[in-house]
């Protein structure tokens, strides 16, 4: 009887999930049928069903293209640089910001660093183009004041384009990570810090033995999610900043798929490259989950 009453209370909640499941099936699962384009010689006029099967022909062609491995390498390098450089910054910022006692200053800093997260790369890309321009850009103007004669072509030089991508991505997203880690720190039992102070622990020791272990579940979750983005490298950012001059170091899988599919109209090859990226991303996510399950007490599922 008690079980039936409990089920009756949660039954409306299950009904509320139905629209979400319907949305998920229509817009996420049904379109997966389009993956078959990678195994067909697709013609839009014939449709997916009317296009002939070619098996792995486009995957073999993809492997033979030198541009494929160039964009795969660029994707890995850019994504790994973003993770290695950008991952610890919000953690450090959250730990330092948590020590600020002035509430007004603390909230002001949180708002300022969080604001870029809400801006699209269309807006930020335009801002960066103006800031990094070789003709009157703010950054080159400041460098000229410090004695540099030749302006730096940040968005047209292969040596500078990757650092621009990494720094601008960190600037946009580290505020969001900081808020998440601050919430994790707030959830730590204050009695642990009081006990540590009674035992003579200083700030650095408390941070090392209390704050960081308390943040570890959230840190691992974010790390797992970031690992799945290694094959992504942020299409919106690269698409709004790159050009033909920086294809050698800035072209990634998603921009490559965009040009193949929507510019060159080779939909089958574009789908094959996209499917390859998705499979590799799935393997990385599954591997990270396995390592987290095996070597820690944290569980995602």
Mark whether 80 and 42 lie in a shared domain: no
Q: How confident is the model at residue 300 (pLDDT cuts 50, 70, 90)?
A: very low
DSSP letters for 225-280: HHHTTTTT--HHHHHHH--GGGHHHH--HHHHHHIIIIIS--HHHHHHHHHHHHHH
Mark whether 80 and 213 lie in a shared domain: yes
Mark whether 246 and 112 lie in a shared domain: yes
Which contacts of 185-194 are long-range, i.e. CB under 8 A and separated by 24 or more positions?
A: 185/94, 185/95, 185/98, 185/211, 185/214, 185/215, 186/98, 187/214, 188/214, 188/215
Q: Where residue 223 sits, what CATH number does that domain have? A: 1.10.3720.10
Mark whether 32 and 136 lie in a shared domain: no
- Look at residue 297 in the predicted model and tell me its pLDDT: 54
- Does residue 300 sit within a domain? no
Q: How many domains does the chain have?
A: 2
Mean pLDDT of the chain: 86
Range of the domain at 30: 1-55
- Does residue 190 sit within a domain? yes
Mark whether 8 and 141 lie in a shared domain: no
The dihedral of CA 24, 28, 31, 32: what is its sign? negative
> Which of 14, 30, 55 is the C-terminal boundary of a domain?
55
Residue 165 burial (C-beta neighbours within 10 Å; 0-12, 13-18, 19+): buried
- Does residue 301 sit within a domain? no
- Does residue 76 sit within a domain? yes
- Does residue 90 sit within a domain? yes
Mark whether 209 and 263 lie in a shared domain: yes
239-297 residue pLDDT tens: 999 988 999 999 999 999 999 998 889 999 999 999 998 888 888 878 877 776 765 55
110-125 residue pLDDT tens: 889 989 999 999 999 9
Nearest to 249 by CA among 183, 179, 156, 180: 156
Mark whether 132 and 216 lie in a shared domain: yes
Per-residue pLDDT at 28 exceeds 70 = yes
Mark whether 8 and 126 lie in a shared domain: no
pLDDT mean over 125-141 = 89
Structure token digits, residue 232: 């992504």
- Does residue 16 sit within a domain? yes
User: What is the model's pTM?
Assistant: 0.83
Helices (H), 133-157: 138-145
206-238 residue pLDDT tens: 888 888 888 888 888 788 777 767 777 788 999
> Which of 10, 31, 55 is the C-terminal boundary of a domain?
55
- Does residue 160 sit within a domain? yes
């Amino acid at each position: 009887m008690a079980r039936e009453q409990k089920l009756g209370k949660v039954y409306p909640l299950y009904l509320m999930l139905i629209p979400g499941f319907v949305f998920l099936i229509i817009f996420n699962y049904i379109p997966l049928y389009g993956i078959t384009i990678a195994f067909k010689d697709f013609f839009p006029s014939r449709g997916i069903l009317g296009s002939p099967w070619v098996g792995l022909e486009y995957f073999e062609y993809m492997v033979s293209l030198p541009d494929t491995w160039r964009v795969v390498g660029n994707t890995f390098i850019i994504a790994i640089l973003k993770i290695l450089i950008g991952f610890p910054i919000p953690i450090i910022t959250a730990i330092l910001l948590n020590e600020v006692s002035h509430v007004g200053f603390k909230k002001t800093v949180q708002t300022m660093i969080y604001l870029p997260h809400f801006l699209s790369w269309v807006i930020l890309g335009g801002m960066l183009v103006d800031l990094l321009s070789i003709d009157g850009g703010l950054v080159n103007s400041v460098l000229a004041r410090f004695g540099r004669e030749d302006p730096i072509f940040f968005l047209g030089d292969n040596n500078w384009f990757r650092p621009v991508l990494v720094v601008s991505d960190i600037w946009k997203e580290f505020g969001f990570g900081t808020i998440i880690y601050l919430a994790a720190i707030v959830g730590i039992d204050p009695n642990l810090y009081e006990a540590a102070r009674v035992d003579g622990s200083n700030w650095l020791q408390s941070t090392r033995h209390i704050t960081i272990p308390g943040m570890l579940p959230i840190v691992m979750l974010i790390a797992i999610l970031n690992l799945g983005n290694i094959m992504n490298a942020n299409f919106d950012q690269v698409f709004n900043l790159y050009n033909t001059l920086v294809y050698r170091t800035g072209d990634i899988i998603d921009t490559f798929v965009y040009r193949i599919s929507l510019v060159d109209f080779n939909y089958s090859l574009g789908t094959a490259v996209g499917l390859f990226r998705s499979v590799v991303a799935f393997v990385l996510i599954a591997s990270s989950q396995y390592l987290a399950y095996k070597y820690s007490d944290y569980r995602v599922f």
